[in-house]
Amino acid sequence: MTAYRTLDPEGVKRFLAARRELAERLGGEAQDWTVREVSDGNLNLVFLVFGTTGRLCVKQSLPHVRVDPDWKMPLDRTAFEAAWLRRIEPLVPGLTPAFLDFDPEQFVLTMECLDGFVTLREALTNGADPIAPSRILGGFVARSAFLTSYLAQPFEAVTPDLAFFSGNTTLTRITVDLVLTDPYREHPRNHWLPALDADVAAMRSDPQIIARIGALQERFLTTPQALLHGDLHSGSIMIADHDVRVIDGEFSLYGPIGFDCGLYLAHLALAHAATTDAPRKESLAAAIKAFWRTFCVDFLHLWKTQAHGADLYVPTTFSNALHELDALRTRFINGVFHDAVGFAAAEIVRRLIGYAQTSDFDHIQGQQSKADRQRVALSFACALLRDAPADIDAFTEMLHPQANLRITTLPETT
């Protein structure tokens, strides 16, 4: 047992050289290997390692937030990411990096190298097709959620994972605070463009919005429907050609399925607000619909074909109520949609005015233009929180700024 030490490129080589199976994958000797640090999140070190015959990705937890070394972080989150990856990989073959190794003393996760991939966020900013990956991600969420849920198996198969992932309190605390609480109150971690002052004040004094956020806090903490990714934004997704991979499962926990759906929808909506190009907007709106429809179709198909032995909606009790079973399935999906709408809104809000913002608006020239685009996104989010759309078509209709005039005009006219 060795004490935890933060890795540097030489340390990465020593770490891998000491692990025969990983070293053999790289090929050659340690001095032949190239290490490239690609850390860009706030919580981890990430290295890509290139050998003579293979390559690897090495990820290690940092003991503090990168930009704020006083904000200490327990190291165990890589353990949750490793557990998530091992649990999810067989359920969604080809849609995650391959798990290779986890070292619980150095909190080092070694996995397939996704060199040549870029984040979906970067790809979207550069004009990549949003529809094809969104369809794939709809299927990813459907499979990973359904197959880890109570709908797919006896409850005894769920509770050990529920118990384990409920220990992931460090990163769940971040979601509870930074996504679902702080943006709706004064907090030094919040920040936004001064031009949005009135919008933020109006949002915080809107009782409907505050009530909806309260209800979402309850849904997030007390609805363990399935094992969630927990941070499914466009920076947690890597793409290359037609290959899509979901990474960074360190926020994983049992929660409402709509949380994963909502985060993904939020980031398509942010990209939509950040562009002024009409065909591009149409394409992002189509991607939103493609994600949701694929999720629904795949989730329902799994439910109808792979629910053997589950304790919910037990088929042997429903022989005289097949129509009602269909209705219950629709109600379940509608419930996921309602959650998704709320969590999408909360994610958009926090990416505009909370601690960890998004780069989607970085390319916009001029503070005023940037604030205008951000106000469109914030108004959309506030409208979602005030009056939830009934379906995905209504959701995309609300992407048009004129649909959500109230929040953009209210603070300026009163």
Contacts to a copy of itself by CB under 8 A? 150, 155-156, 159, 162-164, 166-167, 169, 172-173, 176, 180-181, 184-186, 204-208, 210-211, 213-215, 217-218, 221-225, 311-314, 316-321, 323-325, 327-328, 332
Residues 6+ apart with CB under 8 A from 324: 318
Least separation, in Å, of the C-beta of 176 and a copy of itself? 5
Least separation, in Å, of the C-beta of 95 and a copy of itself? 25
Q: Which is nearer to a copy of itself, 116 or 207 (CB)?
A: 207
Report helix, strand or coil for 227: strand
Residue with tokens 């015959």: 53
Q: Which is nearer to a copy of itself, 204 or 280 (CB)?
A: 204
Q: Which is nearer to a copy of itself, 137 or 141 (CB)?
A: 141
Contact in structure between 53 and 26 (CB atoms under 8 Å): yes
Q: Which is nearer to a copy of itself, 205 or 276 (CB)?
A: 205
Rg (CA), the chain: 22
Q: Which is nearer to a copy of itself, 319 or 413 (CB)?
A: 319
Residues 6+ apart with CB under 8 A from 394: none
Report helix, strand or coil for 186: coil
Least separation, in Å, of the C-beta of 167 and a copy of itself? 7
Instruction: Report the C-alpha gap between 287 and 280 in whole angstroms.
Output: 10
Count of beta carbons in the 10 Å neighbourhood of residue 58: 27
Q: Which is nearer to a copy of itself, 16 or 257 (CB)?
A: 257
Q: Which is nearer to a copy of itself, 127 or 315 (CB)?
A: 315
Least separation, in Å, of the C-beta of 328 and a copy of itself? 6
Query: Residue 360's beta-bridge partner residues?
Result: none
Instruction: Report the C-alpha gap between 295 and 143 in whole angstroms.
Output: 9
Least separation, in Å, of the C-beta of 254 and a copy of itself? 9
Least separation, in Å, of the C-beta of 411 and a copy of itself? 14
Residues 6+ apart with CB under 8 A from 21: 100, 101
- Cα first-last separation, the chain: 64
Element (H, E) at 226: strand 226-228
Least separation, in Å, of the C-beta of 158 and a copy of itself? 8
Q: Which is nearer to a copy of itself, 5 or 331 (CB)?
A: 331
Least separation, in Å, of the C-beta of 218 and a copy of itself? 5
| C-alpha pair distances (Å), 268 with each of 284, 296, 386, 407 | 6, 18, 20, 21
Following DSSP, what letter does each residue of 40-79 receive, concatenated? -SSSEEEEEEE-SS-EEEEEEE-SEETTEEEEE--TTHHH
